[in-house]
Amino acid sequence: MGEPVRRVLSRPAYLRELDASQVVEVGDVGTLAGLVAAGGVVVLSGAGLSTDSGIPDYRGPQGALRRHAPMTYQDFTGSPGGRQRYWARSFVGWRHVNKAAPNDGHRAVAALERAGLLDGIVTQNVDGLHEEAGARTVVDLHGSLDRVVCLQCGDVSDRGVLDDRLRAANPGFEEVARRALALPGADGEVNPDGDVALPDEAVDGFVVVDCLVCGTGALKPDVVFFGETVPRDRVERCLALVDAARLLLVLGSSLTVMSGYRFVLRAGERGIPVAIVNQGPTRGDARAAVRLDAPLGRVLPALAERLLP
């Protein structure tokens, strides 16, 4: 494989809060393939893996956090108005996420798992694209937009059923939203959480429905909002995967939030090497044995091509 390639990259301004002042690129696809070939790999994936499927990330150069304040758990649970705003906007944005298809990166990850090289996938994404691509051992760390949970009785139901109910309760809303998004200056971008910005006047008349099981409970997407805690049993399952891994492979995550970064720290505590593929710097760069700053849609298919018959 030759000597690893080392290249210093300047850090973009939008990630100045990261600890490291530089990204040091170490290795190439061949170096990465040499680590993955021995198997025992656990993948930690983030929003950067789904950008080629048309779902934006949070912290990339065009990331959602540059133009969008995501719904917080406190806003959602604290007021009917917060829930109305979320469901009106998500009623429009969810369709885009629901129609998204796995990209070459997702398919390459699934192929590596089928070949026995990956022992599990921990994803910070809520789009379900790993599973749709054929991956089997996937832990949805932050939940899934395909499910809805009642905050009162705990019933979990299908998002498609809720979508039908919201459409019936809000005849003509899709046209109202379409006109609002066509106005000059409107931001029609769909965010990773399935939210799309709508003006207050479009949201005000939206009717929110309650749980069908208990009759009065407020419904919430079965995802972990900003400010909400990931269920402990789910975290423990992910930590167990990392503890048993031979390599932690981070794909498309800046690792800015502790929710994902904790697994890099855990790997370090256990002496497990970490490899990172991401466009732009990450919080874990200084801890990576291999670090590639490159598009996942190019790296992952090339990796699979090297390792699979």
Catalytic residues: 142
Count Cα atoms within 13 angstroms, Cβ side, for 211: 20
Q: Where are the alpha helices (DSSP H) in 100-172?
A: 104-114, 129-132, 159-169
Nearest C-alpha neighbor of 190 from the set 90, 76, 79: 90
* Dihedral sign of CA atoms 194, 74, 223, 292 in order: positive
The C-alpha atoms of residue 138 and residue 131 are separated, in whole angstroms, by 7
The C-alpha atoms of residue 71 and residue 82 are separated, in whole angstroms, by 8
- Residue 276, strand partner residues: 250, 291
